[in-house]
Structures are given as C-alpha cells and as structure tokens.
C-alpha cells in the first residue's frame, strides 16, 4: 500500500466491505507483533534464568551492550540488533500504532454503516492506509 492512495467505490456498501477487509488485515498484523513481543520477553527471561544458574556455579557470561540506535530522520531510526529484548519496545510501539489504526478504521466504519442507505458512488483518499477524505458523489446518484 502506498502512502497516498485514491480508490473509487460504486457505493458505500462496497467501501464498508473494503474497510472490514482492511480491519481484519491490520488486526492480524497486531497479533503478529504481539507474538514477537512475547517471544522476545520469553527469550529475555530464559537468558536471566541461565545467567542466574551459571552465576551460582561461578560462571559469568559477558553481557551484550544495548543495541545501538541512530535517529536518521524524525520518522526513521536505525537499530543494530544486538539484544533481542531491546526490540521489544519497537514491536510494542508497532503493535500500538497498528491498534490505533484498527480503532480509526472501526470509527469510520461505524459512521459509514449509518450512511449506507445513500446509494451513491464514493471516492476515498487514503493516507498511510487510513481514509483521509471520503467524498460521497451525490451529484451522480442513480437516476430515478
């Protein structure tokens, strides 16, 4: 999906179907990232347990430094992945943003459900996968 996308629908019902499909996809993405957070958390716990057990036996493992990061732009950060648990925050942020997207799409769908009695074509302009402008073409309503 591009950053900016324009799509035409024959009617609001078609747009609602597309919204439902987008919501389902983003929900699957949220689940995927939450699984990654869980995997990283479990790996971190196993590492702590292993270090603790080895420490009791007098063996000390060297600790890895924190993953270096570099802010490239306001929107982009470079992360050198040394410690998986450092990625946990990244995965959590991604899942939070995806969940925000789901909530926005659900609010839009709720409003559009109320308008579906209007049988008119619409144009939707998306920004980052979220409808920015929804134009109901009333002047092209089917002729009676």
Q: HSE, CB side, 13 Å, CA atoms: give it for residue 62.
A: 2
Banded model confidence at residue 143, pLDDT cuts 50, 70, 90 = low
Among residues 6, 29, 30, the alpha carbon closest in space to that of 18 is found at: 6
Please give the pLDDT value at position 67: 72
pTM value > 0.85: no
Structure tokens at 69: 């990061």
- pLDDT more than 70, % of the chain: 93
If you average pLDDT over every residue of the chain, what do you get?
A: 87
Among residues 100, 99, 90, 93, the alpha carbon closest in space to that of 66 is found at: 90
Q: Quick check: 142 pLDDT over 70?
A: no
Q: Quick check: 141 pLDDT over 90?
A: no
Residue 136 burial class via C-beta count within 10 angstroms: exposed 0-12, middle 13-18, buried 19 and up: middle
CA distance 114 to 81: 47
Q: Quick check: 64 pLDDT over 80?
A: no
What are the angstrom distances between the C-alpha of 48 and each of 44, 71, 75, 89? 6, 29, 33, 18
* pLDDT tens, residue by residue, 67-104: 777 888 888 888 777 677 778 888 999 999 999 999 99
| Ranges of each domain in the chain | 4-140
* pLDDT tens, residue by residue, 13-27: 999 999 999 999 999
Please give the pLDDT value at position 121: 93
Among residues 121, 104, 124, 137, the alpha carbon closest in space to that of 5 is found at: 124
């Amino acid at each position: 999906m591009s950053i900016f996308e324009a799509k035409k629908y024959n009617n609001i019902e078609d747009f609602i179907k597309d919204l439902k499909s987008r919501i389902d996809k983003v929900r699957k993405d949220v689940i995927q990232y939450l699984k990654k957070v869980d995997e990283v958390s479990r790996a971190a716990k196993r590492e702590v347990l292993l270090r603790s057990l080895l420490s009791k036996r007098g063996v000390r493992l060297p600790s890895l430094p924190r993953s270096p990061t570099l802010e490239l732009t306001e929107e982009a950060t470079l992360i050198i992945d040394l410690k998986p648990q450092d990625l946990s925050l990244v995965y959590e942020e991604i899942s939070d943003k995806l969940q925000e997207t789901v909530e926005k799409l659900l609010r839009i769908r709720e409003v559009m459900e109320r308008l579906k009695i209007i049988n008119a074509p619409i144009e939707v302009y998306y920004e980052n996968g979220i409808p920015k402008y929804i134009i109901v073409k009333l002047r092209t309503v089917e002729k009676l």
